[in-house]
Structure 1
């Protein structure tokens, strides 16, 4: 299966206005706001969609609201879409809506969808780094620190993380039925996985739930253009009163910069940048779960300071 990556995340929420404001402050572009909910997108057209959790058009929940209600993946063409529908139809219900999106359920009870990709080319400023010993990444007199009003819009939907009741069963479904590759894993916790049509370290992370009542969303995130954007956007986000949950820092698995915040979507949302990419020659690592394997460094968000203070 040549699944390209995430296209859209659909949520059932309890506070529409909080979700509208949150995604605007996060940096996404508003596509639609109405009495039922909203649609917000990144530069490549990947989206977050949300509606009230009581909306009958949403897929059935597998966890209390607010929470994720469906994860939609993109494929390159109708042939791949038909292959997925045929595969899943072997042992579970599959439906196809009026737009041609295939809908079903994974082995952990999460609603999943597949459609011909609507992602578009990203048009954004070049991100350059000046490092001694290599060609300059920025032109002469081009500044690395952008003006505070300079747009730092998320570029693409990066990954989603589920709490699952059985991480081995969940991993087998995505590997055996949908062709996902495991890139790394935390021992006894769960795998990082990428679809075959993507080289990004992971689009999906499956986390073992040790509490039968803890299922559903752990977190989701969009890619930003650089570590600078993660730190700068996260800083601005915190100044607006959003509660930092974890970060800023840099992960080991995937190498991405991160900063997590509490959200009204049932889990945390992450600012993310500079993730590793892999091909099929990559040998997955297996690490114990600990603070030392979760991040290479971690900073604490404090007030600004000046040497003249």
Structure 2
């Protein structure tokens, strides 16, 4: 596959210090000079900067090789999309290219030396997030966006949730990017792998003890089979603790299926309820202000 992981998500917002404090002190990411990292490696998973409103500065995808970066750049030009940066080495030594997708979202594809690490349980009570499990984006054109990402990055459709969501994988895990039907393009949420179901529950309980209630969960999704607990940060970013995402047999993957939306337990098989009204509003968000043609 051309792309094999989500490297980081860069966000702009009115008060990045507040989000940085929440994600580091409460949520459990590790602050660095370049952003906030997980425990799997030293690269930042989240980068925050100041802006007039909450939105996505860019999303960085990890490529399998330098040649894969070049291939993406060629596909961008062939499809008539905007190539923002020709392939080259950035200030941090990564070989990357940048492009605008069909909605104007800035995407970066950079050669990553390591594939997505496999999650492993932490020592009890040290359940810091390891890595980005997946990113979910809202889009007004679900099928066209899914088709474009498959063509640009070699994503594969793992499952669909009715005509509302498409789950895309780029490694053996069920999804690294998911797309949800909406009236506009925006960030829905960022999910962080914590290594075990117990870790999801411990982190959720710890955050509640600090005064932050989940906007959804704990629960377990049907598509992906992962355990989840969602929280909102001070700028309205929705972040998820997750673990136990379905793993595909890469030599013989199962066929994608459509999960029915008329059964409410498909979205949360534990039956612990739907997202709160606050959670729905935060995950829907406002139209992203940083999109460009």
TM-score range, shorter chain: 0.7 to 0.9
Q: Which residue of 1 aligns with 2:201?
A: 231
The CA distance in 2 between the partners of 1:18 and 1:219, in whole Å, is: 18
Residue segments in structure 2 that go unaligned for 5+ positions in a row: 274-293
Asked whether 1:263 is paired with 2:216, we answer no
* Aligned-CA RMSD value: 2.3
Q: Helix, strand or coil: the match of 1:101?
A: strand
Q: Which residue of 2 aligns with 1:41?
A: 37
Q: Which residue of 1 aligns with 2:30?
A: 29
Q: Which residue of 1 aligns with 2:279?
A: none
Deviation at 1:10, TM superposition (A): 0.5
Among 154, 157, 166, the alignment partner of 1:191 is 166
The CA distance in 2 between the partners of 1:258 and 1:232, in whole Å, is: 12
Q: Which residue of 1 aligns with 2:105?
A: 110
Q: Helix, strand or coil: the match of 2:3?
A: coil
Deviation at 1:249, TM superposition (A): 0.9
Among 66, 77, 88, the alignment partner of 1:89 is 77
Deviation at 1:120, TM superposition (A): 7.8
Among 75, 78, 98, the alignment partner of 2:63 is 75
- Larger % of helix: which? 2
Deviation at 1:74, TM superposition (A): 0.6
CA deviations on 1:16-51 (whole Å, 9 max, x unpaired) are 22111111111111111xxxxx60011223510010
Among 156, 179, 185, the alignment partner of 1:206 is 179
The CA distance in 2 between the partners of 1:41 and 1:120, in whole Å, is: 16
Does the 8 A contact of 1:68 with 1:265 survive in 2?
Answer: no
| Count of residues in Structure 1 that have an aligned counterpart in Structure 2 | 260
Does the 8 A contact of 1:248 with 1:298 survive in 2?
Answer: no
Does the 8 A contact of 2:81 with 2:102 survive in 1?
Answer: no
Superposed counterparts of 1:246-261, under 5 Å: 246-261=216-231
Deviation at 1:202, TM superposition (A): 0.2
Q: Which residue of 2 aligns with 1:161?
A: 136
Higher-Rg member (1/2): 1
Does the 8 A contact of 1:224 with 1:271 survive in 2?
Answer: yes
Residue segments in structure 1 that go unaligned for 5+ positions in a row: 33-37, 55-64, 129-143, 301-309
Superposed counterparts of 1:97-176, under 5 Å: 98-99=89-90, 100-117=95-112, 119=114, 127=121, 146=124, 150-176=125-151
CA deviations on 1:184-225 (whole Å, 9 max, x unpaired) are 001221210012xx111001110000x3xx430111111011
* Structure 1 length-normalised TM: 0.78
Among 189, 201, 222, the alignment partner of 2:192 is 222
Q: Which residue of 2 aligns with 1:51?
A: 49
Q: Helix, strand or coil: the match of 1:127?
A: coil
* Structure 2 length-normalised TM: 0.82
**Aligned in 2, Cα 1:9/1:41: closer, same or farther, shift over 3 Å?**
same
